[in-house]
Amino acid sequence: MRRKNQEIFNILSNYGSFAKPFLNFMIIKTKHDGWKHLFKSLEYDWLGSRYKALEEIEKGLKHKNSKTLYYILLAKKLSYLFLIRDYTESRKLYIFLRENYSKMPKKARKIVSSILINIENIMNWNKNTRLWGKLYEMDPSTEAFINLGKARRNIKEKKFKTAWKFLKKTFELSKLIPHRVGIINSLNDWSWYLKDFDLKKSISLSKELMYYAGYYFEDNEKHFGIFDTFFEINKENIDTLYLYSNIISFYWNRLPEKGKRNSKENYANMFNYLNKFVIEDRSIYKNTKNLRIYLKKYVSNISEVSKKTGISRKSLSSILNGKVKEIKGDTIKKLISGLNIIPDIYSPKAIINEYGKLYIEGLYRESFSKLKSMPPEQQKRLFFITYISCVKKFDFNNKENIFFENDFHKKWFIIEMLYGNEYINSRKILAKHFFERMKKSRFEEFVSKYFKLSKKEKEILDVFIRNYSRYDIKWNVRIELPEFLNKFADKYSLKKMPLSLAYWYYENGADRRKLVNILDFFD
């Protein structure tokens, strides 16, 4: 078991929080010893509770540990002391570890050197050291975050061309591992700081950021800053804002009301603009002063505008003079089409909403045409994969025809089926992968049972499906599938290792039991 402890700790060090299923597994399975406390410290660290993480390390050091574990515990202690800014104690421990480096077992050196290098890179406590150069090159995770640190220093010093190189290197290394936090951090920084120099490239990077956010993360309300970055970069591209507004709004609603960071209060200004692009299915608007001022900019001659829009001169005058208190959506559409109005983030909600309806209607017609040309089986599979992947679900009983009635929200779903956006499309890739090995008859059975689940059960299963695909990579270590999931794996032709990790994604037993109850329904 000690060997497995070491192997899994190395995975946790290399992959970061992406490898959390391994951590959840080890906290349950590891006996009460130094390893148990080491794993618990990582759990607290990833929750941002560094003092509790440090307490676990101190408890771990009281056990009779191997030399390898002893030095790993000391290295993590150094990391936590540094993170809580106890530089006096961290410097003492830093010097101790550096001076005893040659005495350490080889299995401990890689972990210790990674932490020493990171601290040296920030604090320059030992500028001339080259002791761990070779090990450093063998550790892509350490190298990625050192490059990220160098990029941020160069940005502060306004050495932007050098910073772009370090950010590119960070992204490439993080993607290779894969280290999801490294991927997101590098793309977020790179796209944000590049926007004032190369907006086209910045937009491209921001869309990659959305792709990987959808691919690797479920709880993106915890990373809401990426949406703020995306909005600032794409705020002049209204087509993109329409395609992403529902997703950003979904995670906005999950934010706490107040807080210095990651709260509705913190992102209120951005969301006030973006929320106007969440299309509402309404057809009457108040004739506000703001709307009249906006329309008057496009009206120099009422007679000409009447000809272009098909709206009578009398009606136009009543609108512009405020004599009518409400305006129909169809009237606003006529003004938009006749006057070639293209809104921006500062336009009135009525203009943005009706323009959005026209934009979505055009996309829907294109999507509908492509969908109709597909074979029925392909239509059904694409429908189901998209349904699993979308962030806002509508009620569907699996007996309806997928070519819906004139329902705006369901038209939007058809667009997501055929076009989507980078965020939704990455989740569709994950869903598609889950079913690739499944026999046709089993797939149809799965779909039928899926639509008998409650809304909450569907949400739990959707996450499980995506996690299965996320974790279907080579790990070089095996975690046995719980016995009660073997039948499910065999029935639906699923691989056991990613299935096991998708199960251990949940950190508490109650959530795992909920999942098992759902999977039992499919047996």
Q: How do residues 148-176 score in pLDDT, each as one tens digit? A: 989 999 999 999 999 999 999 999 999 99
Quickly name the fold that domain 2-132 has: 1.25.40
Compute the 3-state secondary structure of the chain and give helix, strand, coil in percent, each to the nearest 5: 70, 0, 30
Q: Which two tokens stand for residue 358?
A: 């026209």
Neighbours of 166 (CB within 10 A): 23
Q: pTM for this one?
A: 0.93
Residue by residue, pLDDT tens for the chain (523 residues) are: 578 899 999 999 999 999 999 999 999 999 888 999 999 999 999 999 999 999 999 999 999 899 999 999 999 999 999 999 999 999 999 999 989 988 899 888 888 888 888 887 777 666 554 544 554 445 688 889 889 989 999 999 999 999 999 999 999 999 999 999 999 999 999 999 999 999 999 999 999 999 999 999 999 999 999 999 999 999 999 999 999 999 999 999 999 999 878 899 999 999 999 999 999 988 899 999 999 999 999 999 999 999 999 999 999 999 999 999 999 999 999 999 999 999 999 999 999 999 999 999 999 999 999 999 999 999 999 999 999 999 988 777 655 565 655 677 788 899 999 999 999 999 999 999 999 999 999 999 999 999 999 999 999 999 999 999 999 999 999 998 999 999 999 999 999 999 999 999 999 999 999 999 999 999 8
Angstrom distances, CA of residue 192 to CA of 72, 195, 208, 219, 228: 36, 6, 13, 22, 10
In CATH terms, the fold of domain 142-271 is: 1.25.40
Do residues 316 and 302 make contact, with C-beta atoms less than 8 angstroms apart? Answer: yes
| Under 8 Å between Cβ of 479 and 27 | no
- Residue 284 β-bridge partners: 328
- Residue 219 is predicted with a pLDDT of 93
Residue ranges, CATH 1.25.40.10, the chain: 142-271
- Which fold is adopted by the domain 284-358? 434 Repressor (Amino-terminal Domain) (1.10.260)
What whole-number distance in Å separates Cα of residue 69 and Cα of residue 105? 10
Alpha-carbon gap, residue 194 to 169, rounded angstroms: 15
Q: What is the pLDDT of residues 6-60, one digit of tens each?
A: 999 999 999 999 999 999 999 999 988 899 999 999 999 999 999 999 999 999 9
Q: pLDDT of 352-383, one tens digit each? A: 999 999 999 999 999 999 999 999 999 999 99
